[in-house]
């Protein structure tokens, strides 16, 4: 069988890989066990607009978090790195209706400034504060469409000019039901048309001559530069 022979494999939510994130939220009375800060794992999350910056997260009505987010209109998207992966999975198989997931995972809840009720996960490298603008009932899931109103990042991820270097964070992606830590950097936005000088600078050519050679050899023959 030739390598690119195709088979029909049915219709499903197969778009992969996707981000997997830990959404933190809380009710209006954090001292009430049913409203305390909670964490829900979500893979149906995405960026949907640049100006203003907006995201969507799709959550089933049956989730405890659905109630909390519906009540307050707030949540925080906490990005997941390698050291959070197990907690991320745990928060996706246990309900905040039955337990305090911050306590079970040994994670710290910190009040999100600019939001009235939501907390963020201190151990997550990047925390994205969101305010719900609209809810769309799609069928199995309700899609919360939200505007980003603030972001915190671990300081070690910032370079001398204050730019975020997310490649240092050992980020996790979710691919067809499995978690992976991101591996080899292949390029950057526009690298297919970058000059050799820009490519070398951005990819650290001087530090890794063999890797640069390997990447160049992978490029399509018709490529304009290099």
Ligand X SMILES: Cc1cc2nc3c(=O)[nH]c(=O)nc-3n(C[C@H](O)[C@H](O)[C@H](O)COP(=O)(O)O)c2cc1C
Residues of span 180-199 touching ligand X by CB under 6 A: none
Q: How many residues bind ligand X (CB under 6 A)?
A: 22
Residue placing its CB nearer to ligand X in the complex, 84 or 215: 84
> Per rule CB under 6 A, is residue 95 in the interface with ligand X?
yes
Find the binder of ligand X among 16, 32, 48, 60 (CB under 6 A): 60
Residue placing its CB nearer to ligand X in the complex, 9 or 93: 93
Phi, psi of 212 (to 5 degrees): -60, -45
Bond from prior residue into 32 cis (ω within 30 degrees of 0): no
Whats the size of the chain, residue-wise?
A: 226
Say if residue 129 is exposed, middle or buried (CB neighbours under 10 Å; 0-12, 13-18, 19+): buried
Residue placing its CB nearer to ligand X in the complex, 119 or 174: 174
Instruction: Kindly state the smallest distance separating residue 192's Cβ from ligand X, in Å.
Output: 32
* Pairwise CA distance, residues 57 & 71, whole Å: 16
How remote is the C-alpha of 12 from its chain's centroid? 22
Instruction: Kindly state the smallest distance separating residue 203's Cβ from ligand X, in Å.
Output: 31
Instruction: Kindly state the smallest distance separating residue 132's Cβ from ligand X, in Å.
Output: 15
Residue placing its CB nearer to ligand X in the complex, 101 or 152: 101
* Pairwise CA distance, residues 174 & 195, whole Å: 33
Structure tokens at 153: 């990042």
- Residues lying near ligand X in the complex (CB under 6 A) are found at 20, 38, 40-44, 58-60, 63-65, 89, 92-97, 141, 174
């Amino acid at each position: 069988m030739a390598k690119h022979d195709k088979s029909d494999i049915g219709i499903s939510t197969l778009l992969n890989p996707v981000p997997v994130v830990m959404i933190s939220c809380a009710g209006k009375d954090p001292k009430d066990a049913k409203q305390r800060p909670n964490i829900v794992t979500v893979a149906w999350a995405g960026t949907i607009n640049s100006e203003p910056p907006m995201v969507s997260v799709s959550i089933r009505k049956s989730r405890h978090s659905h109630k909390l987010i519906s009540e307050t209109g707030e949540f925080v998207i906490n990005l997941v790195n390698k050291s959070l992966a197990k907690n991320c999975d745990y928060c996706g198989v246990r309900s905040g209706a039955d337990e305090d997931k911050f306590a079970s995972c040994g994670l710290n809840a910190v009040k999100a400034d600019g939001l009235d009720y939501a907390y963020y996960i201190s151990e997550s490298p990047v925390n994205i504060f969101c305010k719900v603008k609209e809810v769309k009932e799609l069928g199995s899931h309700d899609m919360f469409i939200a505007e980003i109103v603030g972001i915190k990042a671990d300081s070690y991820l910032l370079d001398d000019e204050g730019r975020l270097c997310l490649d240092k964070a050992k980020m996790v992606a979710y691919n067809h039901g499995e978690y992976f830590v991101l591996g080899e950097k292949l390029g950057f936005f526009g690298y297919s048309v970058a000059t050799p000088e820009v490519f070398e600078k951005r990819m650290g050519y001087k530090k890794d001559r063999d890797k640069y050679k390997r990447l160049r050899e992978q490029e399509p023959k018709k490529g304009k530069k290099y």
